Amino acid sequence: MWKDLFKLTVPNIVVGVGVALVMPLLLPVAGAVLRPLAKGVIKGGLTLYDAAAGLVVETGEQLSDLYAEAKAEHYGSPE
């Protein structure tokens, strides 16, 4: 099984050389296409992070207010 996988035949060698010759031409093109895509994904992640952080702050404030109200009702407000 392993012998067949790594068998060096003429077509395999030709394909390998062809890929080695074409890759330097394709990498800059792929980089030019993938860079804006990666940048967009990162910007989307930052937007989600900011939204989640705002939600956490808002929820914390509401829980703090509820705690203060419950504490005031439980111990009564001094007159």
Domain assignment of residue 64, given as a range: 19-71
Asked if residue 4 is part of any domain, the answer here is no
* Residue-averaged pLDDT of the chain: 86
CA distance 55 to 69: 21
User: How high is the pLDDT of residue 28?
Assistant: 86
Whether residue 35 lies inside any domain: the answer is yes
pLDDT digits (tens, 9 = 90+) for 20-48: 888 888 888 888 888 999 999 999 999 99
Is residue 58 situated within a structural domain?
yes
Give the model's pLDDT for residue 4: 64
How far CA 68 is from CA of 57, 61, 77, 78, in Å, comes to 17, 11, 11, 14
Is residue 31 one of the residues assigned to a domain? yes
Residue at 8 is within a domain:
no
- Whole-model pTM? 0.53
Residue 13 resides in a domain: no
pLDDT tens for each residue of 36-79 = 999 999 999 999 999 999 999 999 999 999 999 999 999 986 65
Structural domain contains residue 47: yes
- pLDDT for res 16: 82
The verdict on residue 5 lying in a domain is: no
Work out the burial of residue 30: count CB atoms within 10 Å of its CB; fewer than 13 is exposed, 13-18 middle, 19 or more buried: exposed
Please give the tally of structural domains in the chain.
1
